[in-house]
Structure 1
Amino acid sequence: MENQNILCEIAEGVATVTVNRPGSLNALNSQVLGELECTLYKLEQDAAVSVVILTGAGEKAFVAGADIKEMAEMNSFEGHRFALQGQRVMLFMEKMTKPVIAAVNGYALGGGLELALACDVIYASDNAKLGFPEVTLGIIPGFGGTQNLARLIGPNRAKELIYSGRMINAQKALAWGVVNEVVAQAELAAKALDLAREIAKNGSLGVGYAKNAIVNGLNMTKEDGFRYESSLFGVLFATADQKEGMSAFVEKRKAQFQGK
């Protein structure tokens, strides 16, 4: 069935995925999460795609949060199931072999900030507002926000942001290490695309293994992380991409990677 809320365009190895509910500030409901999960799964299997850019339709919001109208009618079981659905999408993004770049254009609140935090790189427009307002609704972040934010910026600042429910602007998000860079809104799409194209030129196996090493290594001791890194390093020497990359360097030509 064709997506109603998710747009996807692919060009030059880069897939741009857009949450397309501008009338609701791109709020996440069960249907949107389902469509996003299916889209990301297809992109993970698509050999023509090396990098994914994730953004929201319109100029007001990346994703302004989860759909409160839908959540307001949920009981405890349904709320738990909704959280698990959102977490499944976030974890899949983190485990994808392909890097995901968030282009945060405007509000990234609640589930929207959780979506951005599940990406590998976050670029924000200068008018972006980020935060977790869940406690003002009597709940908590449910799509991994309490875990990912604390791991990214430390528990103290994460507690300040989550307990207060306040929003921070793009510059404070940059200072706190929530986002990688802040640019003018008119330049945001080009900024994300430039990085995506730069990544797409590299060996997709190498990039995917690097992501694997970083994401999984964060849950290991440093020594275990070193061992894990060395094992992935060794595996790559059995690939055609490693042979091509090093041959191209020695021969002073541009490498032609095949993802094999």
Structure 2
Amino acid sequence: MTEDIVLTRRHGAVLEITLNRPKANAINRAMSRAIHRAAKQLQDDPALSVGIVTAGGDRVFCAGWDLKEEAVSYDPSLDVDPEQGSGAGGFAGITEYWGLTKPMVAAVNGAAVGGGFEIAIACDVIIMAENAFFSLPEMQRGIIPDGGAIQRLPRLIPYNVAKEMLLTGRRMEADEALRWGLVHKVVPQAALMDEARAKAAEIAKGAPLALQAIKEVLLAIDGMGLPAAMRKTKAGHSGLDYYERLWRSEDMQEGMRAFAEKRDPVWKGR
């Protein structure tokens, strides 16, 4: 457990991170720092491979930025303060945590509004309950969703669909999110955590270095043309930590031996 507003629980190689700030898990700077600490626990612990971020209950995943608190005391100069600002991971702890190379699964149990939507799309896999929805109402609040939505959403779904959502603030229901490929599976509320844990366990079967190299490479080649992306993924020349370590690892040899010997690999993470 990190602190009461963000709870953590280990399931083997999986770390569950639960948003726990009633009534709606609204994000203030303290919660951003708490989420980041939980994500950093995942990243720094060699026994952990995958994270799940979710929330309790069946109505709200996260209502986004705590506008009631910020309307009273917002001071933009605090954003970069390491002790009073959002912390090293940016808004909501993970939206700018570029060093988070371990995969994250979002288990969206209810409304994911504004910054709550931004948390979900900062993750690598999204499992969504049938009753959940996404929306970006910032235009009606006099702001824009610059904590990740305006940057990520047009890269994840058709550009014009993203732009219309940004401009109108309308709801995207779970079935539409699935249709655009934004979420990977929609399930009944009662099955959400079982499905998310199964997906996390499936991912965790991968070699630890390879899992991290996937995210590292994807981030490094994002926006590159195909020739440049191919040049970037050449062992010995990439400048990418996990990718280079992968090709010199015991786990690479173990994976090949296990395949040849028709057995499950035993990973060491090195």
Which TM-score applies when normalising by structure 1? 0.92
Closer/same/farther in 2, CA of residues 2 and 208 from structure 1, 3 Å limit: closer
SS for the counterpart of 1:26 is: coil
Q: CA deviation at 1:236?
A: 2.4
- Supply the distance in 2 between the matched residues of 1:132 and 1:79 (Cα, whole angstroms): 24
2:129 matched to 1:130?
no
Which TM-score applies when normalising by structure 2? 0.89
Closer/same/farther in 2, CA of residues 25 and 190 from structure 1, 3 Å limit: same
Amino acid at match of 2:9: E
- Supply the distance in 2 between the matched residues of 1:77 and 1:254 (Cα, whole angstroms): 51
- Residue number in structure 2 paired with 1:32: 31
Q: How many equivalent residue pairs?
A: 258
2:169 matched to 1:165?
yes
User: Is the CA contact (8 Å cut-off) linking 1:63 and 1:108 kept in structure 2?
Assistant: yes
Q: CA deviation at 1:175?
A: 1.4
Q: CA deviation at 1:258?
A: 0.6
Q: Which of 175, 189, 198 is the equivalent residue of 2:202? A: 198
CA deviations over 1:15-51 (Å, ceiling 9, x no partner)? 0000012x32111111110111111112210011000
- Supply the distance in 1 between the matched residues of 2:143 and 2:75 (Cα, whole angstroms): 11
2:268 matched to 1:258?
yes
- Supply the distance in 2 between the matched residues of 1:209 and 1:229 (Cα, whole angstroms): 11
Q: Please show how residues 202-241 of structure 1 align to structure 2 within 5 Å.
A: 202-231=206-235, 235-241=245-251
Q: What is the root-mean-square deviation of aligned Cα atoms in Å?
A: 2.1
More helix by share: 1
Share of identical aligned residues, percent? 37
- Residue number in structure 1 paired with 2:252: 242
Q: Which of 119, 122, 126 is the equivalent residue of 2:123? A: 119
User: Is the CA contact (8 Å cut-off) linking 1:237 and 1:243 kept in structure 2?
Assistant: no
Larger mean CA deviation between 213-222 and 98-107 belongs to 213-222
User: Is the CA contact (8 Å cut-off) linking 1:83 and 1:142 kept in structure 2?
Assistant: no
Greater than 6 Å deviation, 4+ residue runs = none
- Supply the distance in 1 between the matched residues of 2:251 and 2:18 (Cα, whole angstroms): 31
- Residue number in structure 1 paired with 2:150: 146
Larger mean CA deviation between 79-88 and 41-50 belongs to 79-88
Q: CA deviation at 1:57?
A: 1.6
Q: Which runs of 5+ in 1 are unaligned?
A: none
CA deviations over 1:69-94 (Å, ceiling 9, x no partner)? 112124563586568831763121x5
Amino acid at match of 1:175: R
Amino acid at match of 1:6: V
CA deviations over 1:94-124 (Å, ceiling 9, x no partner)? 5412100000011011000000010001110
Amino acid at match of 2:231: R
Q: CA deviation at 1:218?
A: 1.5
Q: Which runs of 5+ in 2 are unaligned?
A: none
Q: CA deviation at 1:192?
A: 0.8
Q: CA deviation at 1:125?
A: 0.4
User: Is the CA contact (8 Å cut-off) linking 2:103 and 2:215 kept in structure 1?
Assistant: yes
- Residue number in structure 2 paired with 1:48: 47
